[in-house]
Amino acid sequence: MDASLWEVPFQSLSGGQKTKVQLAKVLVQNPAFIIMDEPTNHLDQETIRWLENWMNNYQKAILYVSHDRHFLDQTAHAIYELNQKGCKRYPGNYTRFKEQKEIEAKTEEKRYQKYKKKKQELEVSIRRYQQWFDKAHRSAGQNDFLRAKANKNISRFRAKESELEHLESEGIRKPKDDKEVNMKLDSSSFSARSMLHIDKLTFGFNEHIIFDHLQFFVHRQDRIAIIGPNGAGKSTLLKLIMNRLKPIEGSIFVNPNTKIGYFDQELNGLDEDATLLENLLDLPEMTQTEARTILGSFLFRREAVYKKVGDLSMGEKCRAALIRLYFSDANLLILDEPTNYLDIDTRETVEAALQSYPGAMLVVSHDRYFVQKVANRILYLGEKHIIDYQGTYDEFLQHIENRVDANQQTNQNKWNQLNMRMIELMTSEEHTVDDEEYWEEIRSIKKQLAELEDK
């Protein structure tokens, strides 16, 4: 952390700064066993990458809870899944866990289908034996020979019944589908190319300037992820677009045909005193039957629809806010940390819905897995520079790595040239001790070499 924050009271720190302090307190103790609850919450991506590197080099045990799938992929050696059946260990990271779960699901489905087929065969066989047995007894009448013959088959009939009882005792049930949010977003039609234009935007608090003449366009089908370190102004930019903050200079032009659907971390679009059902009935042309059906698809069933929003958990509130967004008829979604408080299954359902969304999106998210899934353009807000990159998150990281490699090669080439010139000067016999230009050039080269070595 910056030295300027060392004397700041803990309660005055931001969420990310508090997390860093708590991590530092644990790390200096060098314990034999560490337990962490959502360690990446409120951390920017640079700090998360540092934490990943530290954890991968830590030689002792760490147990942690996390919904950050990219973080799990980078750090987990094993994953424990908790559900209604109990707890099960899966070796490997999150991607390996998903692969194993898919294999399990296919195996369970095959086992159930085999059980179902065998049960049907036994039931058909038992019915036939029963029908034949009844018919044989009626036909035999008082004929002892025919009655004896019919009785011989009763053992086969009972064997089939016993086999069916044994099969049912194995307790094989139809695999239960994981509950998921059924969500498909529609957008209104939009014919113009540009939906929003930020022109020479300048904004800051007091003397601290966050944006200085920021410029960019949002076009149709742009899925822009806004990323950067904490304090870079990601959520602030969304609030400026939503007219909740006023710029010092510059303008934000919104096309008259642009309909914005806004999801923020405060969930301000919900009426805390109203029930879930009332919040949905507030939408245009929404009937009670439709509202209850929709709430049911989002796992709010029966009496749960009468819960007041203020009594819901944060995850439930996020789901409720997403329902309103579902029917907003927006063609530009502005989403501020939409996956916060959502479990992994719900996050993946939201990702699938946003991937099929036909409109444009501006998304602020620390969830790198989510960003990789939904974004086709990256807007990186740095402390001294802004990068507008057309491509996915992984492609952006590769672009940055390539650029760093190119800069390093350029610096190395420059260092080699300067070093060669220094050798030439030091071995030259043409200059005297009183040659001021000669010594000035040596001092300048030494300074440049030192600067390049620090980069």
Full-model pTM: 0.71
pLDDT at 360: 92
pLDDT at 355: 87
pLDDT at 313: 86
Q: Which CATH superfamily is domain 3-75 in?
A: P-loop containing nucleotide triphosphate hydrolases (3.40.50.300)
b (16+ CB within 10 A) / e for 6-26: eeeeeeeeeebbebbeebeee
pLDDT tens per residue across all 455 residues of the chain: 666 667 777 777 766 677 778 877 887 788 889 999 988 887 888 888 888 998 998 889 999 999 999 999 999 999 999 988 899 999 999 999 999 999 999 999 998 899 889 888 888 888 887 777 677 666 655 556 656 666 666 777 778 888 888 888 877 787 766 555 455 555 556 667 789 999 999 998 877 888 999 999 999 889 999 998 887 889 899 999 999 999 999 999 999 999 999 988 777 778 888 998 888 888 777 888 888 887 877 778 788 889 998 888 888 888 888 878 877 788 899 999 888 888 888 888 888 888 888 889 999 998 999 999 999 999 999 876 789 999 999 999 988 888 766 667 677 778 777 877 777 777 666 666 677 787 888 888 888 888 877 76
183 Cβ neighbours under 8 A, 6+ residues apart: 297, 298, 322, 326, 349, 350, 352, 353
pLDDT at 356: 82
Q: Which CATH superfamily is domain 194-391 in?
A: P-loop containing nucleotide triphosphate hydrolases (3.40.50.300)
- The kind and range of the H/E element at 46 are helix 45-57
Distance CA(50)–CA(74), nearest Å, equals 11
Residue with token string 């019919």: 150
Residue with token string 């260092």: 415
Write the DSSP string, 392-435: -HHHHHHHHHHHHHHHHHHHHHHHHHHHHHHHHHHH-SS--TT-
Whether the domain at 3-75 and the domain at 194-391 fall into the same CATH topology = yes
pLDDT at 294: 77
Distance CA(104)–CA(97), nearest Å, equals 10
Tokens matching residue 261: 């659907």
Residue ranges of domains in the chain: 3-75, 108-169, 194-391, 399-454
pLDDT at 437: 81
Under a CB-based contact definition with an 8 Å cutoff, are residues 366 and 40 in contact? yes
